[in-house]
Amino acid sequence: MLSLVPMSFAMTTQNLFDKPDMFTQIIMIPVVVTLLLAVCLFQFKKLSSRSGNNAKQLPGPSGLPLVGYLPFLGRNLHETLMELAKKYGPIYKLSLGQRQCVIISSPHLVKEVVRDQDVTFANRNPNIAALAFSFGGKDIAFSPYGPEWRMLRRIFVQEMQSKANLDAFYGLRKNEVKKSVRDVYAKKGNPIDVGEMAFSTVINMITSMFWGGTILGDRATASSRNGDFRVAVSELLAIWGRPNISDFIPCLARFDLQGVDKDMKRASKWIEVIFDSVIDQRMKEEKESCQDTKKKDSKDFLDFLLEFKDEETGISLSRAQIKAFLAVILSPFNSFFF
């Protein structure tokens, strides 16, 4: 009886070693899991130390692995940031997912960033929605600081927003207001959508300055076309303000988990069609009248953009840049109507 126990043990041991594949799998599973956890921990510590060195070991809440301080922000972001400023001082670091942010809350530091060291902090980090709307960040708002950005700024400040050009469009703005007043009188006794009327008036003024005419063509169809445009812009702005996890964890951007990139491209497609039709029509008109030596009495913004596109400067505006230029200028104004 006593001799059977070691014999059974020896037979069991021998059977285990006769099946090395099963034995190896049993042993290797916890080993592999442990190694993976060690590698993940090492990478996390490496990234944390790197971001800490870049931020010069600023104070701030530690947050959680991978998501950082995102779960603790709450609805009132400004109140959360103010509470953290009271605790950590006027400048502190905040981990939002894989993004390392530096928060400043004193007038002196704000002046240092936006004025004294503005070139250093000129570049922005556009989110997924902004990249989709601005045709890959090709506009004046999200383009990186450099020769192209300075070119766009020069066009915007010297050509489009100069006092002489704005004064030259005074007649157009005045005529659009008069047309709206006449429309109100013509609808005497009928209900009027004031928001729709204001939107139509202002959008017609802006587009007259941009390309010398309205996006509506015939004013008889103004209501329906304005309504479509308003809905498209309203949806676009709503998507733009939607939180997107891919903005904080870039490795998830390729999957577009919340569909922000897809929705933004769909919402901006209608506006892009308008821009393309206007640009094509203007280029066709310019091509047909190239033999005519008589110049136009006045230029609109699209004329300036297309003329600069044709200049042999080595750096010219592409069609995508022109559309992004127009879209970003139009959209902030539209937000006041929603």
Q: Say if residue 6's pLDDT is above 60.
A: no
Q: Are residues 212 and 71 in the same domain?
A: no
200 lies in the same domain as 320:
yes
Count of Cβ atoms closer than 10 Å to residue 310 Cβ: 10
Whether 313 is in a domain gets the answer yes
pTM of the model: 0.64
SS3 16: helix
Q: What is the DSSP string of 182-204?
A: HHHHHTTTS---HHHHHHHHHHH
90 and 170 belong to one structural domain: no
Tens digit of pLDDT for each residue in 68-127? Answer: 999 998 888 899 999 999 999 999 999 998 888 999 999 999 999 989 998 888 888 888
Q: Specify whether 307 is located in the same domain as 183.
A: yes
Confirm whether 28 is domain-assigned. Answer: no
CATH code: domain of residue 311: 1.10.630.10
- Averaged over 298-308, what is the pLDDT? 77
Co-location of 211 and 291 in the same domain: yes
CB burial of residue 313 (10 Å; 0-12, 13-18, 19+): exposed
Residue 95 phi/psi, 5° resolution?
-90, 120
User: Rounded CA gap, 140 and 92, in Å?
Assistant: 29
Residue 139 lies in a domain: no
Average pLDDT over residues 214-239: 63
Q: Same domain for 117 and 166?
A: no
**Per the domain annotation, does 47 fall within a domain?**
no
The answer to whether residues 236 and 160 belong to one domain is yes
CA separation for the pair 332, 130 (Å, rounded) = 13
Total structural domains within the chain: 2
Same domain assignment for residues 109 and 153? no
288 and 332 together in one domain: yes
| Same-domain pairing of 326 and 213 | yes
**Domain membership of residue 252 as a residue range:** 147-337
pLDDT attached to residue 83:
94
